[in-house]
Amino acid sequence: MRGENLPRQRRPLAKSGRMGEIYAFAKKAASSDSTILIYGESGTGKEVFAHYIHKNSARGAVSFIPVNCAAIPPELMESEFFGYAQGAFTGASKNGKPGLFEIAGGGTLFLDEIGELPLALQSKLLRVLETGDIMRVGGSKVISTDVRIVAATNRDLYGMTRTGAFREDLYYRLHIIPIYLPALRERREDIESLACQILADFNAKYGYNKFFSAATLTYFREYSWPGNIRELKNVVERLVIISQARELHISREHLFRQVETGRTEKAFSALDYGANYRQAVDAFERAYIEETLSRCQGNVTVASKMLGLHRSSIYKKLQEP
């Protein structure tokens, strides 16, 4: 029993239980060229999954271009997506610039957080999806593109069409093959194999040979993991780093409390005296944003309203080293 979760050969993805069925379906869907829309809470592995679809498609050897629709400032979005022509605006590069649709040519364009796309861009995207043609900003030449679209969201897109926040025609254009990634708490049978796989990766990275105590795996199965796989990965990493022993152990109280309050603690640990002022402020800002996001179930739009910050500022802050 003890040695059961000892490092084993690295497998690309945990494919047991319910996830096994989803991955089998995704493999089938990957072989077509149809648009795939991935739904799932934050941290359920939407991007990893989109990459899996790409790798298993005929385009697998060509590029996979991920783009976070919430992270691009709205005024730059059109030129990011479609590029701009030579001399399109002051300060633009002399030869123009290709957009993501051209860069992803022959490959897969992963439109993450598609629910955050402003309405003006939604209609432009719809047109491209329907015709396959784009025109660079400030250009007059029609360019045909060849991309497979995989989109992802943690929002209720259909609900958004009801309130007018998302175009209904675009919704139906994207909703061709929807795939729902379940939250970790809805697939507890996968938690152990995922945790062991993540641990095996850290063992390989740090040259360790660590394993979980049986009780730890039990608590992992019981915990609700609101941050899903990302949270599991963070907890495993923290255990790997702080534990002196080869056997990794976390108490039940510690897991349930530490994980739920971890971000808040981090916010206040930024207040340690003696730290460089700028670094302390940066750490606090980041932790405060993370905490707000977790209280909004990862919904960046709600968090941005609550904080009075633009979505792109939130992403920028979170991406800072």
Are the beta carbons of 135 and 83 closer than 8 angstroms? Answer: no
Which positions ≥6 away from 20 have C-beta within 8 Å? Answer: none
């025609």: which residue's tokens? 169
Does 13 engage in binding with ligand ATP (CB under 6 A)?
yes
The whole-angstrom separation of Cα 59 and Cα 33 is 9
Q: What is the dihedral of CA 310, 312, 317, 321, to 10 degrees?
A: 180
Does 76 engage in binding with ligand ATP (CB under 6 A)?
no
Q: Beta partners for 142?
A: 135
Distances (CA, A) of 275 to 263, 278, 280, 281: 19, 9, 6, 10
Does 169 engage in binding with Mg ion (CB under 5 A)?
no
Give the nearest distance from C-beta 211 to ligand ATP in angstroms.
17
- Identify the residue among 7, 47, 178, 307 touching Mg ion (CB under 5 A): 47
Chain positions 132 to 161 lying near ligand ATP, rule: CB under 6 A, are: 154
Give the nearest distance from C-beta 46 to Mg ion in angstroms.
5
Chain positions 230 to 249 lying near ligand ATP, rule: CB under 6 A, are: 230, 233
Are the beta carbons of 52 and 23 closer than 8 angstroms? Answer: yes
Give the nearest distance from C-beta 30 to ligand ATP in angstroms.
16
Residue 198 interacting entry, from ligand ATP, Mg ion, none, C-beta within 5 to 8 Å by type: ligand ATP
Binding mask 24-43 for ligand ATP (x = CB under 6 A): ----------------x-xx
Residue 262 interacting entry, from ligand ATP, Mg ion, none, C-beta within 5 to 8 Å by type: none
Closest by CA position to 289, among listed 269, 266, 259: 266
Does 318 engage in binding with Mg ion (CB under 5 A)?
no
User: Which residues of the chain form contacts with ligand ATP (CB under 6 A)?
Assistant: 13-14, 40, 42-48, 154, 194, 197-198, 229-230, 233, 298
